[in-house]
Structure 1
Amino acid sequence: MKIRLGLVVLMVAAVVAVPRCFAADSSAPRVALVIGNGKYPDADKPLSQAVSDAREFADELKRAGFDAELGEDLSGDAMRRAFDRLYQRTKPGAAALVFFSGFGIQSGRQSYLIPVDAQIWTEPDVRRDGIALESVLNELNSRGASVKIALVDASRRNPFERRFRSFSAGLAPVIAPSGSLVMYAAALSAVVTDNDSAHSPFVSALREEIRTPGLSAEEAFNRTRTAVTRASRGEQVPWISSSLAEDFVFAPGVATADKPTAEKPAAATAPVEAAKPAPAPPEAKPPQAAEAKPASGGDDDKLVLALASDPTVKSLTAQIADKPSDGNAYYRRGQVYASKGAYRTAIKDFDEAIRLNGKDVEAYNNRCWVRTVIGELEPAVADCDQALLLRPNFVDALDSRGLLHLKSGRDKAAIADFDAALKVNPRLTSSLYGRGLARKRIGLTSEGEIDLTTAKKLDPNIGKEFAGYGVK
């Protein structure tokens, strides 16, 4: 699977979705966590804007009535403790806000906030050391925050990407609970370069807009998007996704209209296409789906119905309606469906992506993997074979085909594919674990145990992941 790297994550999580007058008069409880991580040992130099942005934004939030905690250059343990304190402060109906500036990594369609002491060499390291944005929003939701807002300024190229066999720049589209507002400082696949100013253009514009009396958070973020896009001459275009049912206002008062406003997004706002649009690169198989059980047709329909209001799905569906020949939009929507367990619907989108582009190697690989998960093994073989024909030694397709051989009982063939994948990436956890299972099946017990032990050290959850595939 591929990884999107190069992000600094600014998160604002949760503001109260109470009646408009209650939100506007700022009487709802407001709590915030603001983190600026700039001193990463793996980076060539400290991030010059991360801490200064965090300090200024924390001050701005305090002026807006938030009980804001500020953290600078936090380790993994310190970050987890800070989030725990935020969760404890988040009461039903409260506004909970998180701001993170630093490095982040996208892995398996989730964006992870990276602490300064993270040791990241492989994908399992990301899940071990990083903190998932979706998990933060879901936890805030479970604590009763009526509105969750995540602001993400995470488009710097980070130092970890060169360690992976493949990567994708930019942030992952977040699948957040209802009542969430997410804003990224740049398009999903875009990478921007820091300027020499003390603060990022995104935070500078955002601070100015949230001061406007009576201006809703959505409108403030739309204005921020317009300001950043214009200031960068289209080089940096923020992305917004919203499922808010009520307005939240940072500064009480009567809204002003002295500035041109951007068009208010629907449930999800795709990045404005500017001078240099950067379509999101495809990724390989989404690991979230690995933990889900194969869905029946009825379950699939229920999942699709539930996802119909998801901001990312709505945005991609709108793109497809506007441009039915957009194979990448079908591919990306298929990824979302697969990541949530709507496997058969995901296959339909991969079918369409392949129909539109018969050389879409990633779509073939993903369709192979999804078919393997739901037990359509023979068609899966054809898909993986085609992916490897298009891209020989494609490590993700080798890993996928190894899994389907394992499910089919072709243990020696599985070992051959896992061996080939491990020649490319010796620390590929899924191939190590799969090979360990296959080796034990054919009587190579000690060699298999070594593989399984090594894989579990790299990723303690790998056994649960394979159980989700139906393989033990």
Structure 2
Amino acid sequence: MTVRFSLLAALVFSLVPIFSSAAIAADRFALVIGNAKYPDADAPLKEPVNDARSIADELKRDGFTVEVGENLTGDGMRKALERLYGQIKPGAVALVFFSGYGVQSNRQSFMIPVDAQIWTEADVRRDGLSLETVLGEINNRGAGVKIALIDASRRNPYERRFRSFSAGLAPVIAPNGTLVMYSAALSSVMSDNGGDHGLFVQELLKEIRVPDLMAEETLNRTRVGVTRASRSEQVPWISSSLAEDFSFIPGARPAVAALPQQPAAETPPPPPAAKVDPPTPPKAETPVPPAPEKPAVASLPSNDPPRSPPQPALADDPTIKSLTAKLVENPDDAGSLYRRGQVYASKGAYDLAIKDFGDTIRLNPKDVEAYNNRCWVRAVTGELQSALRDCNEALRLRPNFVDALDSRGLVNLKSGLAKNAIADFDAALKINPRLTSSLYGRGLARQRSGAISDGEVDVNNAKAMDPNIVKEFAGYGVR
């Protein structure tokens, strides 16, 4: 599918001396959502609620009628959006701000409510709210100016072992008269800074308060500010097809420039920090299990995660309670067993996860996902021989299964079989060159096999793609 985006490349946007005040005089409505308390996450996000409140306060000062939602469920988000749709009149300005977790699926970006239960690609589309759908509905209600400010390019709790996914957000196909800004570049993720407010919102609020700026210039200045403050580690993305002048501050006048009008084009990002692109693995035939090396007797690392019993709060987890209730009614519900195993694994309750995955396999001996997830959990806890058997079975059932190749690479890495680990990570990267865990794992394996410089390139590239990758592998007992 060919997609064409109308992005503006200059900071001067009104090139006609006659100023249209329609967008400034129009009614202004905003829905501001800050979602922080996701049960599947290790801890609540620190920034979204404070950011949402600050954005809402500023928009109110700028003449918007604002509704603020905090920690909204899917039903709560849909009802809030319906209220927004109901307010819109022809020619109105409608703005949506969302801070929380976002996931891209099928080339669309979805805002995730706090009660989403996501294990598969279909779950994203079922429980998430499509940004394209929201903007389309706002347009259908007659809004003249449509603005979406999305601060959701975070590494989310649904990724890694529990869903095949693409990181970050996808470009949006929006109707004319739309201005969209993501807090980070397409298909990239960022980490919260741990403070009360995120960098994106800090810079956005600073620029919104500058008088006599058109909205596109406000967002471009925000992008420059975020890029500079983060030293190019975070570069927001902007898409605009506004057909009329609009300023966040009512009464602002656009600058008139004696420049020839240029066609809309994609906003070029500032020069990024120098990073080495991940090397594309050479083409290879269908990967087969590498010839096994004989592991040393004492190859198990001593820093495997402890297999402690689950925390007392685990039984009160709403997702686990819901799945357990289903299993009380039907103990042979393989889907609920598998999903509960995923939640247990994400919470660090590894013994319970292994049991649920085992029961899933008992009910369906060909469940390749259950084999892969049990392989990974066993790799994390140090049951390396059992983990290897599970991964091999997953790859027998589904050759070229990238997650199982990645999992087996971890098994071999922890077993001290560097050559086998490199072969598995190479095969995984051939299928998905941006699989950060395989890139980092291959880097460690290369270093351990003596290819120090090649290993450093992989490790540095993986860290550039995901600053949390070192911590993630430390959690697996690999340093």
> Which position in structure 2 is the counterpart of 1:162?
160
Query: Unpaired segments of 5 or more residues in structure 1?
Result: 1-18, 258-263, 282-356, 361-385, 394-418, 428-472
2:144–2:177 CA contact under 8 A, matched in 1: yes
| 1:188 is aligned to 2:186 | yes
Q: Note the C-alpha offset of 1:86.
A: 0.5
Question: Structure 1 164/40 Cα, relative in aligned 2: closer, same or farther at 3 Å?
Answer: same
> Which position in structure 1 is the counterpart of 2:173?
175
> Which position in structure 2 is the counterpart of 1:204?
202
Equivalent AA in structure 2 for residue 175 of structure 1: I
Q: Note the C-alpha offset of 1:358.
A: 11
Matches within 5 A, 1:122-161: 122-161=120-159
Q: How far apart, CA to CA, are the structure 2 residues paired with 1:44 and 1:20? A: 51
> Which position in structure 2 is the counterpart of 1:104?
102
Equivalent AA in structure 1 for residue 186 of structure 2: L
> Which position in structure 1 is the counterpart of 2:314?
none
Equivalent AA in structure 2 for residue 170 of structure 1: G
What's the TM-score once normalised by structure 2's chain length?
Answer: 0.53
Structure number with bigger Rg: 2
Q: Note the C-alpha offset of 1:181.
A: 1.0
Q: Note the C-alpha offset of 1:244.
A: 1.1
**In structure 2, which of residues 38, 41, 50 is the aligned counterpart of residue 40 of structure 1?**
38
Secondary structure of 2:21's partner? Answer: helix
Q: What CA deviation, in whole Å up to 9, does each residue of 1:18-41 have, x standing for no partner?
A: x944246x3200011000000011
Q: How far apart, CA to CA, are the structure 1 residues paired with 2:276 and 2:219? A: 21
> Which position in structure 2 is the counterpart of 1:423?
368
> Which position in structure 1 is the counterpart of 2:47?
49
> Which position in structure 2 is the counterpart of 1:215?
213
1:242–1:267 CA contact under 8 A, matched in 2: no
Q: Note the C-alpha offset of 1:421.
A: 9.7
**In structure 1, which of residues 222, 239, 242 is the aligned counterpart of residue 240 of structure 2?**
242
Question: Structure 1 90/425 Cα, relative in aligned 2: closer, same or farther at 3 Å?
Answer: farther
Q: How far apart, CA to CA, are the structure 1 residues paired with 2:369 and 2:263? A: 43
> Which position in structure 2 is the counterpart of 1:292?
none
1:114–1:131 CA contact under 8 A, matched in 2: yes
Q: Note the C-alpha offset of 1:205.
A: 0.8
What's the TM-score once normalised by structure 1's chain length?
Answer: 0.53
Secondary structure of 2:264's partner? Answer: coil
Equivalent AA in structure 1 for residue 57 of structure 2: D
2:120–2:163 CA contact under 8 A, matched in 1: no
Secondary structure of 1:269's partner? Answer: coil
> Which position in structure 1 is the counterpart of 2:61?
63
1:241–1:267 CA contact under 8 A, matched in 2: no
Q: What CA deviation, in whole Å up to 9, does each residue of 1:263-285 have, x standing for no partner?
A: x9934325434105798x9xxxx
Q: How far apart, CA to CA, are the structure 1 residues paired with 2:139 and 2:281? A: 42
Using the TM superposition, name which of 48-57 and 181-190 deviates more: 181-190
Q: What percentage of aligned pairs have identical amino acids?
A: 63
2:105–2:165 CA contact under 8 A, matched in 1: no
Q: What CA deviation, in whole Å up to 9, does each residue of 1:198-237 have, x standing for no partner?
A: 1111111111111222211100000000100111111111
Q: Note the C-alpha offset of 1:99.
A: 0.6
Equivalent AA in structure 2 for residue 151 of structure 1: L
Equivalent AA in structure 2 for residue 149 of structure 1: I
> Which position in structure 2 is the counterpart of 1:22?
21
Q: How far apart, CA to CA, are the structure 1 residues paired with 2:274 and 2:73? A: 36
1:241–1:265 CA contact under 8 A, matched in 2: no
Secondary structure of 2:243's partner? Answer: coil
2:19–2:254 CA contact under 8 A, matched in 1: no
Question: Structure 1 77/278 Cα, relative in aligned 2: closer, same or farther at 3 Å?
Answer: farther
2:33–2:98 CA contact under 8 A, matched in 1: yes
1:40–1:117 CA contact under 8 A, matched in 2: yes
Query: Unpaired segments of 5 or more residues in structure 2?
Result: 1-17, 256-261, 290-363, 373-479
Question: Structure 1 192/142 Cα, relative in aligned 2: closer, same or farther at 3 Å?
Answer: same
> Which position in structure 2 is the counterpart of 1:116?
114
Q: Note the C-alpha offset of 1:253.
A: 4.2
Q: Note the C-alpha offset of 1:254.
A: 5.0
Aligned-residue RMSD, C-alpha: 3.1
Q: Note the C-alpha offset of 1:149.
A: 1.4
Question: Structure 1 137/110 Cα, relative in aligned 2: closer, same or farther at 3 Å?
Answer: same
1:243–1:268 CA contact under 8 A, matched in 2: no
Secondary structure of 2:202's partner? Answer: helix
Equivalent AA in structure 1 for residue 152 of structure 2: A
| 1:91 is aligned to 2:36 | no
Q: How far apart, CA to CA, are the structure 1 residues paired with 2:263 and 2:238? A: 8
Question: Structure 1 391/147 Cα, relative in aligned 2: closer, same or farther at 3 Å?
Answer: farther
1:104–1:111 CA contact under 8 A, matched in 2: yes
1:112–1:130 CA contact under 8 A, matched in 2: yes
Q: How far apart, CA to CA, are the structure 1 residues paired with 2:365 and 2:90? A: 52
Q: How far apart, CA to CA, are the structure 2 residues paired with 1:196 and 1:160? A: 21
Matches within 5 A, 1:52-451: 52-254=50-252, 266-275=264-273, 389=285, 423-424=368-369
1:53–1:203 CA contact under 8 A, matched in 2: yes
Question: Structure 1 424/39 Cα, relative in aligned 2: closer, same or farther at 3 Å?
Answer: closer
Equivalent AA in structure 2 for residue 39 of structure 1: K
Secondary structure of 2:110's partner? Answer: strand
Question: Structure 1 122/180 Cα, relative in aligned 2: closer, same or farther at 3 Å?
Answer: same
Q: How far apart, CA to CA, are the structure 2 residues paired with 1:421 and 1:246? A: 57
Q: How far apart, CA to CA, are the structure 2 residues paired with 1:278 and 1:102? A: 30
